[in-house]
Amino acid sequence: MAGRKDEPGEALDAGTMAAAPPQAGDGDSCDETCWFRSSDDVRQGFIRGIEKFPVRPVTYNQIEGMAIFEGDIALGTEAEMNDVVASVQGETADTVRGLAIAASPGEIVHGVGIPGLRYRWPNGLIPYTVVQPLQNVVNQAIAHFAANTRIRFVLRTAANQAQYPNYVSFEQQSGCWSYVGMQGNGKQVISLGAGCETLGIAVHEICHALGLWHEQSREDRDTNVQIVWANIQAGREHNFNQHIVDGDDIGGYDFGSIMHYGRRAFSKNNQDTITPNGGQAIGQRNGLSAGDIAAIRAMYPQLEPTQSWRGTQFSGNLAGNQTQTWFTHSWPSHWFVVWTAVPTAPVVDGPAQIELTVRMSRQADRANARLVKYHLTVRNLTASPVSFQARYEVLGWHPSYL
């Protein structure tokens, strides 16, 4: 892990200053020098992980009431942070206690938690609302995810809001930012403020909401790119010095990731702050790279089609001309299932002996789990008793099978 270059004492001195406005680079058109924001209000806090670490210290900026990490990742509001610091300090795990002791006396310690990180969006489905000015760009981003991933979006309305308690609200607040992962406490904002209303930025921020961090935050960052500290704006170095990845790095280092900083992120002189070792292009905001798509697939493995499997659900007997219905419950509705009923005794040549009709119904008490019942009606077409088997074949699954 790279050493931390931030200076807690220096950060403290600036701790109560008002947020600085975003700094654009020398009148350039908007690029990474204005997508990513920082301020002089630098604070220390904690961030929770699930898969790789329990809690880690982080340095972040307080900007207009929001804790912003690495330029565009929202860690929470000031009030939320105060709640989390209380819970972190109340914990007795050795790692947490060790961090609390390590904090310098007088240092402002803000708890930074992402308690919902363990909760990916159920079924890869993101309920959302959007303000009118962002409708077009959000629709483009949704289409981009639909074409490249199994992630789907559903507009949250008065009619379905009870079904979708957690959702993304696309709004035009100050700057471009998003939380990482589903927060699990109702609405979570993705801000696409002035200069952020592009497909690339929208996709980047949605990737954060899906659970992705920045590509250059990987553990193997320093073997792939060099950070040019001399070109970084004073006091903004903390945006480069932390390796926060929850879960293992996925695939090889991806220079073409839409989640990678550009060369001049937080530059003070319009010169590179990041130079790729091999001279590769970095910081593209055109769309998901192959590596990004692989990372999303790895985070939502339940959306992947699987091998098919099959079996016998039950055996039954029907009297002559009898019709009877059986039902099976707790089948995931996103499974693609084919049902058959075949006579087992007697088996005779000639016209069909039995007939199967399948009806589905939702399990009302488990609506959010998307479980269904299959009602299998088997009719004996003959005047004699027939034994049969009801068999299923699951051909795969897909999140769009509702």
Asked about 205 being catalytic, the answer comes back as yes
Nearest distance in Å: CB 112, Zn ion: 16
Window contacting Zn ion (CB under 5 A); options: 71-79, 137-145, 270-278, 357-365: 71-79
Nearest distance in Å: CB 214, Zn ion: 6
Window contacting Zn ion (CB under 5 A); options: 41-49, 70-78, 338-346, 362-370: 70-78
The nearer residue to Zn ion, 125 or 212, going by C-beta atoms, is 212
Task: Evaluate whether 64 touches 229 at the Cβ level (below 8 Å).
Answer: no
Nearest distance in Å: CB 292, Zn ion: 12
The nearer residue to Zn ion, 6 or 205, going by C-beta atoms, is 205
Report how far residue 151's alpha carbon sits from residue 371's, in angstroms, rounded to the nearest whole number.
Answer: 19
Residue in 41, 72, 80, 215 binding Zn ion, rule: CB under 5 A: 72
Window contacting Zn ion (CB under 5 A); options: 66-74, 93-101, 260-268, 350-358: 66-74
The nearer residue to Zn ion, 72 or 292, going by C-beta atoms, is 72
90-109 residues in contact with Zn ion (CB under 5 A) are: none
Catalytic residue of the set 32, 70, 80, 205: 205
The nearer residue to Zn ion, 32 or 237, going by C-beta atoms, is 32
The nearer residue to Zn ion, 88 or 137, going by C-beta atoms, is 137
Window contacting Zn ion (CB under 5 A); options: 48-56, 69-77, 192-200, 362-370: 69-77
Structure tokens at 169: 């609200």
The nearer residue to Zn ion, 33 or 380, going by C-beta atoms, is 33
Of the candidates 184, 176, 189, 72, the one whose C-alpha atom is nearest the C-alpha of residue 130 is 189
Closest chain position to Zn ion (CB): 72
Nearest distance in Å: CB 197, Zn ion: 16
> Is 246 near Zn ion (CB under 5 A)?
no
Nearest distance in Å: CB 372, Zn ion: 38
Window contacting Zn ion (CB under 5 A); options: 64-72, 122-130, 220-228, 231-239: 64-72
Structure tokens at 284: 């593209």
Nearest distance in Å: CB 157, Zn ion: 29
Report how far residue 197's alpha carbon sits from residue 317's, in angstroms, rounded to the nearest whole number.
Answer: 63
Active site residues: 205
Give the interface with Zn ion as residue ranges (CB under 5 A): 72
